[in-house]
Amino acid sequence: MPIVWQLTEDEKQAVRAEARRRQEANAKKKLKGRNNGPETGDEALRVHLVGAAGEMAIASFLGLKERVFGDIEAVRHSCDLPPDIDVKTRSRHYYDLLCQFDELPSKTLVLVTIENKTILLHGWTKAKEAMRKEFKREYVTGRPCYCMPKHELRPIQSLQQYVDDAFLF
């Protein structure tokens, strides 16, 4: 079962600022959207808002808000949160977790969905577990990826223990 999460007003303000910062930084560098995603305009900004909101929700859930939005520039294969968490935020609650073909297998992927201003924290997996032949999909032409069904994810409640264990060693 997913957890419903709400951001505070301060968290929402930080998300909006981070989305605008990402949009401006990407436009300035003329960066391409990942996996043929939108590069500029309202749709690209919406993608940045959704992504930043998902990252903030998981950071808040884990008590790691001081560690969110650490990268000033997009860094390929970087993580959103320590120790190795990459938040995958989708815009519909029925969507499953996407994992790009070039993802680092060692990453921890967390699924968050945001629809109609409702945030759901679903679950998590290691990227190598999502990289299965039967999960290959191409929902958008030219943008193939792995798509791990939500029922295959570990419960979101167990993510805190994973993070706590990682910080012990």
- Give mean pLDDT, residues 19-42: 70
Hey, where are the domains in the chain? Answer: 3-168
On the question of pLDDT at 30 being above 70, the answer is no
Would you say 1 and 26 are in contact if contact means Cβ atoms under 8 Å apart? no
Q: Closest Cα to residue 147, out of 131, 159, 165?
A: 131
Q: How many CB atoms lie within 10 A of CB 33?
A: 14
Per the DSSP assignment, residues forming a β-bridge with 90 are 113
**What's residue 40's pLDDT?**
60
What the block records as the tokens of 113 is 């969905």
What's residue 33's pLDDT? 55
> Does residue 71 have a pLDDT over 80?
no
How much of the chain, in percent, has pLDDT values that exceed 90? Answer: 75
The model's pTM: 0.90
pLDDT on residue 49: 96
Q: Which of 23-32, 34-43, 61-70, 74-83 has the lowest mean pLDDT?
A: 34-43
User: How high is the pLDDT of residue 168?
Assistant: 81
134-165: b (≥16 Cβ within 10 Å) or e = ebeeeeeeeeebbbbebeebbebeebeebbee
